[in-house]
Amino acid sequence: MVQYLHQRDDFNIVQLEWATGVIIATKTKQKETNQWNPKTYNTHTAFVSQLALPVVDLLDPQEGERILDVGCGEGTLALEIERKGAKVIGVDMSAQMVAGAKNNGIEAYVGSVTDLPYDEVFDAVFSNATLHWVKDARSAVQNIAKSLKRGGRFVCEFGGEGNAYHLVNAMGKVFANHPEFGAFENPWYFPSVEAYTMLLESEGFRVEYIELIPRPTPMDDIMHWLDIFANGVTEHLTAEQFETFKIEC
């Protein structure tokens, strides 16, 4: 699933406009660190898992299937999948999130989608709101393909072309206005549908379904959104510089 995030006007209006895209692909042939606080993440981004429940339906997990959840977080969606009778293995870059998943009864490991240790062991790979953080998209797709049994399916949701367009532009302008902040580096990978389809097909997938669905998403506090999702951009800033960044965004 390719998910698009657009901001409607400015950050004084706490509503982000999303366009969701669904990808279902079938296998036909053969820098990364994250420190996420599960409590903070769930408090301000609960919509991420809630809006992904229809994607679980598209995954259509079956009794006895083995499914890999890439970017499992604390296992909210993995639990939904297991309720349908499948066995889920979760991987996430955040040790805190993996600990949360284990506390929820999910078998989970710290790891990167660009370095998965599996070879043709899963009936399906599922991923929600994760792959836009992985700049090496080809390596991610290659590892997903390697993990799937022949004929296995890949169902995902993540940010695509145009996602957070106004936010990214605003952040770039703030950095341009403050050279002391250093160079602005966009931490996200937001591909077009065409580009991601070509990538999947080049790695042996047959794309069966892909769709973009505009969807406005209300948010109660855009400042917390910046605190959580812009940390890779601002982690080197001083506290004073970070406050300037948030105000000017």
Distances (CA, A) of 197 to 1, 4, 26, 202, 208: 11, 15, 12, 9, 10
Say how far apart CA 79 and CA 81 lie, in whole Å: 5
Residue 17: closest CA among 27, 25, 9, 6: 6
Contact indicator for 94, 125 with CB cutoff of 8 Å: no
| Rounded Cα–Cα distance for residues 105 and 76 (Å) | 10
User: Do 136 and 199 form a contact (C-beta atoms < 8 A)?
Assistant: no
168 vs 220, higher pLDDT: 168
Q: Does residue 174 contact residue 248 with C-beta atoms inside 8 Å? A: yes
CATH of the domain at 25: 3.40.50.150
Q: Could you tell me if residue 177 is inside a domain?
A: no
- At 121 the three-state DSSP class reads coil
User: Does 193 reside within a domain?
Assistant: yes
Q: Does 105 fall in a domain?
A: yes
Total Cβ atoms within 10 A of residue 43: 13
What is the pTM assigned to this prediction?
Answer: 0.81
Q: Which residue has the higher pLDDT, 135 or 249?
A: 135
- Whole-angstrom Cα distance, residue 231 to residue 34? 10
Residue written as token pair 């062991």: 121
**Residue pair 66/123 in contact by the 8 Å Cβ criterion:** yes
Q: Which residues pair with 218 in a beta bridge?
A: 15
User: How many domains does one find in the chain?
Assistant: 1
Q: Give per-residue pLDDT as tens, 12-49.
A: 223 333 444 556 778 775 444 445 444 544 443 444 44
Tokens of 151: 């004929």
Q: 244 lies in a domain?
A: no
Query: Is residue 137 in some structural domain?
Result: yes
Residue 44 belongs to some domain of the structure: yes
Helix axes 38-50, 222-229, angle to 10 degrees: 110
Domain annotation covers residue 237: no
Q: What is the pLDDT of residues 75-88, one digit of tens each?
A: 999 999 999 999 99
Least confident residue range of 25-29, 67-71, 157-161, 167-171 = 25-29
Residue 234 lies in a domain: no
Provide the token pair at 14. Answer: 């706490």
pLDDT of residue 249: 82
| pLDDT-derived band at 50, boundaries 50, 70, 90 | low
Give me 196's structure tokens.
Answer: 């991601």
Question: Which pLDDT score, from 0 to 100, does residue 19 have?
Answer: 42
Q: Which domain holds residue 199?
A: 2-163+188-220
